[in-house]
Structures are given as structure tokens and as C-alpha cells.
Amino acid sequence: MSNIVDYSDMGIKNIRELLTLHPHSGIVARQDITREQQGPTTIKLCSNDLISLDGLLEVLDVIVVNILDVKILDISSNLFSSIPKEVLSLPGLKSLYLHDNKIEKRFALTSLTALNLYSLTLHANPIAKSPGLRAKLVYKLPTLKVLDFTSITARERRLLMGDEDRKEKASKKFEKTAIKPWKLSKGKKY
């Protein structure tokens, strides 16, 4: 059995539609899981038309055994204008994919401090153009190891833990020199 439940690219507009749809892969309902098995750890809802996750907990109650099992949530390529508050109801979440949405307000990111994220993506959102965003996220999210598919090095973290001027300079320097996987040209070797 797969630990991934994939509802990507199904034209979903409301999270409750998951209750009537069969995923591309993974289990259909938690009653399919025996006590010895772990429920899904990855929920893929990318490339849909979601603007809200209202009702997420009720839906997860049907498709997972325990919300603590959910480690990865992919809600990239949807229509979110802010980070859905329901994400904060997943205390075991380690990776959150939010890239290619409509998130533009920086204060929306402060809620993420409640999670112990390992990996986060925000590129291809209006907020991604905010100067010093990477520095602020690295500083505010001490458990974060990967941001926008780029590792946060120990050296980068040390530099960003200093004073505000150093954080801003280090962030600008890193943003100029970092390889951005989503911008790689074909045939170019690194």
C-alpha cells in the first residue's frame, strides 16, 4: 500500500470533493488500513482550483488514521491567497509545498512558526519577490532545512542569526548566487 494519497490535477474546487473522488494512487478510506499499517503520510492536492482548505480535518478523518501521520502536504499550483489556517492543525507536518499560488502578504508566513517544518516551498507566489524573505524565514523557522528546493546551509544559518544588516546582506548575496531549480535552462550543467 502506498503512503501517498494523490488527488492532484483533478479540478477540485472544494476540499470536501475528496470524499466523493478516488485518488490517483493510495488508499480510498482509512477502513482499508489494518491496525499494523501506518496511514498515508503524504497528501497531494496540487494543481487544482482550491482557494480554501475549509473542512480539511473532516476529510482527513476519512482518509487517514491519525493526523499526526501526515508529514507532507502538497497544495502547490492552486489559488490560495494566504496560507490556509487548517495547515496548522497538522502538528506532524514536516514538508509543505505552497509554490505557484497567489500568496502575497508576508504576515501570512508568521503562522508557520507553529509548525516544525523541515521543507517549505513558496516560489512562484507574489510574496517570493519580497526582499529578504529567505533570511526572515530561515531566522523564524529554525527547523527549516530546505527552502524552495534549496538547502539551507549551516553557514547561511550562522550568517543570518547575526544582526539585521548582516541578515539582509547575506540574504541578498545568497539569493543572487543560489541555483534555482525551477529556473534551470535545458542543457545547462551545474
User: Which CATH number fits the domain that encloses residue 15?
Assistant: 3.80.10.10
Has residue 50 been placed in a domain?
A: yes
pLDDT at 161 (0 to 100): 77
Which residues in the chain come in under a pLDDT of 70? 1-2, 26-39, 163-190
pLDDT at 170 (0 to 100): 61
pLDDT at 34 (0 to 100): 54
pLDDT at 160 (0 to 100): 81
* Domain membership of residue 28 as a residue range: 4-183
pLDDT at 189 (0 to 100): 47
Query: For the chain, how many structural domains are there in total?
Result: 1
Return the C-alpha cell found at 71: 508529514
Has residue 189 been placed in a domain?
A: no
Contact 71, 95 (CB under 8 A): yes
This prediction's pTM: 0.82
Contact 136, 163 (CB under 8 A): no
What letter would DSSP give residue 29? S
Has residue 44 been placed in a domain?
A: yes
What letter would DSSP give residue 118? S
CA dist., res. 80 & res. 82, Å (int): 5
CA dist., res. 186 & res. 190, Å (int): 11
